[in-house]
């Protein structure tokens, strides 16, 4: 009874915030997706919309896909006020990378961070037939012959996959320049090429390979999470002695210039979503980690991650 009463009060508080927010009470919630259908951004936004409506937290959610410039077109349209006022845009770590590398002239400081919701932690995968059972064994092989042990990733040099490889291999005494990185056209292409024999390891998000592990042909050596992840039976790199933590978060951002009350209503709405059993089921289904950050903690996290990424990109001589 107490639990039901608490849930009722929480939902009443959300409804009150929405009702008295000038934006959220006057229009449906709009979720802007900076890509076409399919992929991480699209899946995240559609699952958020489904749970928000299914749990009765909002009456209507309108989804808009706006692809172009690697997410840049949607970002600019939000900044320049071309989207409805009640719009949240889904974004991820590449927002920081593309700003640092000059692909975007704008970044997270030009919009309002609302909440990070999920984390897709990076992993290193090897083929079972190659005989590496631990991260240390694979790193020793790379150290002995870096040229013969390329690392396959699903995106361009300087991307998240490349940076993960650099962070791990420099922990083993190699330099950024020693890392042989083989880029691919997205995660599925990287997995296909790796299965065909390219490289000695694949760096990707766990959610990209979770369904492939049942075959017994692949082994995940480690995961770049700060602590062990529930339902993912993989040791962290920290547990193995390598201080490598990197998460490809996904979260939501609003246009700058709204009132603090509007931003508070958005945060409360997404916070309530994160507490539902329906959302926890979504996390389990996709192998995502619960990674909710808001407010000052979120701002500090983005600034710290940006600085870490800047250091690695400089080591790779991608930026000055």
What does the domain layout of the chain look like in residue ranges? 2-118+249-315, 120-240
Q: What is the pTM of this model?
A: 0.80
224 close to 305: Cβ distance less than 8 angstroms: no
Nearest to 190 by CA among 157, 154, 150, 151: 154
> Looking at domain 2-118+249-315, does it have CATH number 1.10.3720.10?
no
Q: What is the 3-state secondary structure (H, E, C) of the chain?
A: CHHHHHHHHHHHHHHHHHHHCCCCCCCCEEEEECCCCCHHHHHHHHHHHHHHHHCCCCCCEEEEECCCHHHHHHHHHHHCCCCCCCEEEEEECHHHHHHHCCCCCCCHHHEEEEEEEEEEEEEEEEEHHHCCCCHHHHHHHHHHCHHHCCEEECCCCCCHHHHHHHHHHHHCCCCHHHCCEECCCHHHHHHHHHHCCCCCEEEEEHHHHHHHHHHCCEEEEEECCCCCCCCCCCCECHHHCCCCCCEEEEEEEEECCCCHHHHHHHHHHHHHHHCCHHHHHHHHHHCCEEEEEEHHHHHHHHHHHHHHHHHHHHHCCCCC
31 close to 88: Cβ distance less than 8 angstroms: yes
Rounded to 10°, the helix 2-20/260-274 angle is 150
| pLDDT tier for residue 284 given thresholds of 50, 70 and 90 | confident
pLDDT tens digits along 158-205? 888 888 898 888 888 888 888 888 887 777 788 888 888 888 889 988
Share of the chain above pLDDT 70, in %: 92
Cβ-based neighbour number of residue 158 at 10 Å: 23
Residues across the chain? 320
> Looking at domain 120-240, does it have CATH number 3.30.1370.60?
no
Least confident of 183-197, 251-265, 292-306: 183-197
How confident is the model at residue 255, as a pLDDT? Answer: 96
76 close to 105: Cβ distance less than 8 angstroms: no
At residue 247's C-alpha, the angle toward residues 245 and 251, to 5°, is 150
14 close to 272: Cβ distance less than 8 angstroms: yes
2-118+249-315 against 120-240: fold identical: yes
Give the tokens for residue 116: 């990070």
48 close to 34: Cβ distance less than 8 angstroms: no
Most confident of 71-75, 164-168, 201-205, 264-268: 264-268
Four-CA torsion 7, 26, 258, 73, nearest 10 degrees: 100
Position 27 pLDDT exceeds 80: no
Q: What is the mean pLDDT of residues 73-90?
A: 95
How confident is the model at residue 297, as a pLDDT? Answer: 96
CA distances from 109 to 65, 122, 247 (A): 23, 25, 20
How confident is the model at residue 11, as a pLDDT? Answer: 52
């Amino acid at each position: 009874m107490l639990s039901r009463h608490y849930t009722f009060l929480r939902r009443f508080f959300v409804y009150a915030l929405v009702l008295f927010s000038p934006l959220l009470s006057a229009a449906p919630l709009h979720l802007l997706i900076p890509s076409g259908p399919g992929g991480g951004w699209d899946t995240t936004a559609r699952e958020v919309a489904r749970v928000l409506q299914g749990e009765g937290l909002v009456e209507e959610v309108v989804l808009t896909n706006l692809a172009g410039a690697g997410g840049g077109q949607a970002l600019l349209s939000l900044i320049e006020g071309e989207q409805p006022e009640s719009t949240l845009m889904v974004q991820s770590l590449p927002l920081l990378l593309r700003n640092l590398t000059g692909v975007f002239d704008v970044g997270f400081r030009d919009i309002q961070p609302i909440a990070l919701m999920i984390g897709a932690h990076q992993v290193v995968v090897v083929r079972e037939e190659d005989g590496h059972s631990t991260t240390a064994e694979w790193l020793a092989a790379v150290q002995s012959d870096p040229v013969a042990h390329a690392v396959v990733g699903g995106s361009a040099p300087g991307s998240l996959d490349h940076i993960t490889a650099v962070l791990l291999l420099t922990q083993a005494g190699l330099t950024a320049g020693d890392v042989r990185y083989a880029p691919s056209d997205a995660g599925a292409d990287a997995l296909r090429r790796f299965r065909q024999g390219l490289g000695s390891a694949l760096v990707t998000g766990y959610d990209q390979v979770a369904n492939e592990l049942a075959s017994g042909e692949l082994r995940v050596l480690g995961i770049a999470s700060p602590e062990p992840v529930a339902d993912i039976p993989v040791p962290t790199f920290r547990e193995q002695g390598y201080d490598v933590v990197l998460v490809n978060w996904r979260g939501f951002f609003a246009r700058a210039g709204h009132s603090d009350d509007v931003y508070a209503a958005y945060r409360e709405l997404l916070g309530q979503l994160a507490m539902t059993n329906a959302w926890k089921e979504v996390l389990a289904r996709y192998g995502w980690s619960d990674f909710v950050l808001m407010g000052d903690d979120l701002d500090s996290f983005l600034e710290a991650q940006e600085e870490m990424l800047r250091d690695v990109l400089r080591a790779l001589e991608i930026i000055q």
